[in-house]
Structure 1
Amino acid sequence: MAVPPGPSPRLPSESSPPPAAAGPSRRAVLRGAAVAGAVLVTGGALDRGGVPAHADAEYDVVVVGCGASGMTAALTAAKRGLSVVVVEKAPTFGGSAARSGAGIWVPCNEVILAAGVPDTPAKAAAYLARVVGTGVPADRQAAYLANGPAMISFVIRNSPLRFRWMEGYSDYYPEFPGGMPNGRSIEPDQLDGHILGAELANLNPSYIPTPDGLVVFSADYKWLTLSAVNPQGLAVSAQCVQRGVEAALRGEKPLTMGQALAGGLRAGLQSAGVPVWLNTPLADLRVESGRVTGAVVTRNGAQTLVRARRAVVVGSGGFEHSPTMRREFQRQPIGTDWTVGAKENTGDGIEAGERAGAALDLMDDAWWGPAIPLPDQPYFCLAERTLPGCLLVNGKGVRFVNEGAPYSDVVHVMYDRDTPSSRHIPAWLITDQQYRDRYLFKDVPPLLPLPEEWYQSGAAFKAVTLDQLAGKIGVPAAALRSTVARFNGFAFTGRDLDFHRGDSVYDRYYADPYVRPNPCLAPLWLPPFYAFKIVPGDLGTKGGMRTDARARVLRADGTPIPGLYAAGNASGAVMGHSYAGAGSTIGPAMTFGYIAANDIAANP
Structure 2
Amino acid sequence: MTGNAPGLPEDRAGDATFDVVVVGSGAAGMTAALAAADAGLRTVVVEKAAHFGGSTARSGGGLWVPNNEVLRRAGAPDSPELASRYLEHLVGDLVPAEHRRALLSAGPAMLSFVCAHTPLRFTWVRGYSDYYPEAPGGLAEGRTVEPVPLDGRVLGAELAKLNPPYVAPPSGMTVTAAEYRWLNLIARHPRGMLTAARVSLRRIVSLARRRQLLALGQALAAGLRAGLQRAGVPVWLATPLVDLHVEAGRVAGVVVLRNGAEVLLRARHGVILASGGFEHNERMRKQYQRKPIGTEWTVGAAENTGDGIEAGQRLGAAVALMEDAWWGPSIPLSGGPYFCLSERTLPGCIMVNAAGRRFVNEAAPYVDAVHAMYAGNETGVSHIPAWLIADQRYRNRYTFAGLPPRQRFPGRWYKAGAVYSAGSIEDLARLIDVPGDELRATVRRFNGFAHAGRDEDFHRGESAYDHYYGDPRLPNPSLAPLEQAPFHAVRIVPGDLGTKGGLRTDAHARVLREDGTVIPGLYAAGNASAAVMGHTYAGAGATIGPAMTFGYLAALDIAARAQVAAEPARRPGPTRRA
By the TM > 0.5 criterion, same fold? yes
1:422 maps to 381
Tell me by how many angstroms 1:242 deviates: 1.4
Tell me by how many angstroms 1:420 deviates: 8.0
1:508-545 Cα shifts (integer Å, max 9, x gaps):
100001122x1111110111100001100000000000
Tell me by how many angstroms 1:249 deviates: 2.1
1:209 maps to 168
Q: Which amino acid aligns with 1:356?
A: L
Taking the aligned partners of 1:551 and 1:272, their CA distance within structure 2 comes to 23
1:270-309 Cα shifts (integer Å, max 9, x gaps):
0000011000000000012321000000000000000000
1:453-472 Cα shifts (integer Å, max 9, x gaps):
11100111001111111011
Alignment of 1:517-528 (within 5 A): 518-528=476-486
1:124 maps to 83
2:158 maps to 199
Q: Percent identity?
A: 62
1:551 aligns with 2:509: yes
Taking the aligned partners of 1:187 and 1:132, their CA distance within structure 2 comes to 24
1:7 maps to none
1:400-453 Cα shifts (integer Å, max 9, x gaps):
000000000000011122258311111100001010111010111111111001
1:365-419 Cα shifts (integer Å, max 9, x gaps):
0000000000101000111100000000010000000000000000001112225
Taking the aligned partners of 2:149 and 2:335, their CA distance within structure 1 comes to 28
Taking the aligned partners of 2:407 and 2:170, their CA distance within structure 1 comes to 17
Which structure 2 residue ranges, 5 or more long, are not aligned? 1-10, 563-578
Taking the aligned partners of 2:225 and 2:258, their CA distance within structure 1 comes to 20
2:550 maps to 592
Are 1:55 and 1:307, in contact at CA under 8 Å, matched by a contact in 2?
no
Cα 1:420–1:405 shift into 2, 3 Å: closer
1:324-348 Cα shifts (integer Å, max 9, x gaps):
0000000000000000000000000
The match for 1:407 among 362, 366, 387 is 366
Alignment of 1:507-526 (within 5 A): 507-516=466-475, 518-526=476-484
1:99 aligns with 2:65: no
Secondary structure of the residue aligned to 1:384 is coil
1:437 aligns with 2:396: yes
2:234 maps to 275
1:539 maps to 497
Taking the aligned partners of 1:290 and 1:465, their CA distance within structure 2 comes to 68
Are 1:287 and 1:356, in contact at CA under 8 Å, matched by a contact in 2?
no
Q: Which amino acid aligns with 1:185?
A: T
2:313 maps to 354
The match for 1:233 among 159, 178, 192 is 192
Secondary structure of the residue aligned to 1:236 is helix
Alignment of 1:283-432 (within 5 A): 283-419=242-378, 421-432=380-391
1:162 aligns with 2:121: yes
Tell me by how many angstroms 1:357 deviates: 1.5
Which structure 1 residue ranges, 5 or more long, are not aligned? 1-51
Taking the aligned partners of 1:519 and 1:550, their CA distance within structure 2 comes to 43
2:410 maps to 451
**Structure 1, 585-594 or 240-249: larger mean CA deviation:** 240-249
Taking the aligned partners of 1:64 and 1:472, their CA distance within structure 2 comes to 48
Secondary structure of the residue aligned to 2:253 is strand
Q: Which amino acid aligns with 1:266?
A: R
1:582 maps to 540
**TM-score after normalising by structure 2:** 0.94
Taking the aligned partners of 2:68 and 2:379, their CA distance within structure 1 comes to 47
Are 1:367 and 1:538, in contact at CA under 8 Å, matched by a contact in 2?
yes
Taking the aligned partners of 1:55 and 1:443, their CA distance within structure 2 comes to 48
1:76 maps to 35
Taking the aligned partners of 1:88 and 1:213, their CA distance within structure 2 comes to 27
Alignment of 1:33-72 (within 5 A): 56-72=15-31
Tell me by how many angstroms 1:133 deviates: 1.6
1:461 maps to 420
Tell me by how many angstroms 1:213 deviates: 4.6
Q: Which amino acid aligns with 2:525?
A: A
Taking the aligned partners of 1:243 and 1:180, their CA distance within structure 2 comes to 31
Taking the aligned partners of 2:335 and 2:171, their CA distance within structure 1 comes to 20
Taking the aligned partners of 2:543 and 2:12, their CA distance within structure 1 comes to 37
Taking the aligned partners of 2:161 and 2:379, their CA distance within structure 1 comes to 46
Secondary structure of the residue aligned to 2:343 is helix
Q: Which amino acid aligns with 1:389?
A: G
1:150 maps to 109
Q: Which amino acid aligns with 1:272?
A: A
**TM-score after normalising by structure 1:** 0.90
1:69-119 Cα shifts (integer Å, max 9, x gaps):
000000000001000000000000000000011110000000011000011
Cα 1:507–1:420 shift into 2, 3 Å: closer
Tell me by how many angstroms 1:212 deviates: 2.7
The match for 1:472 among 421, 431, 455 is 431
1:223 maps to 182
Q: Which amino acid aligns with 1:475?
A: V
Cα 1:251–1:412 shift into 2, 3 Å: same
Tell me by how many angstroms 1:268 deviates: 0.3
Are 1:213 and 1:245, in contact at CA under 8 Å, matched by a contact in 2?
no
Taking the aligned partners of 1:463 and 1:210, their CA distance within structure 2 comes to 30
1:189 aligns with 2:148: yes
Secondary structure of the residue aligned to 1:128 is helix
Q: Which amino acid aligns with 1:486?
A: R
Write out the 4+ residue segments of structure 1 that deviate beyond 3 Å after TM superposition: 52-55
Are 1:568 and 1:588, in contact at CA under 8 Å, matched by a contact in 2?
yes
Taking the aligned partners of 1:222 and 1:300, their CA distance within structure 2 comes to 44
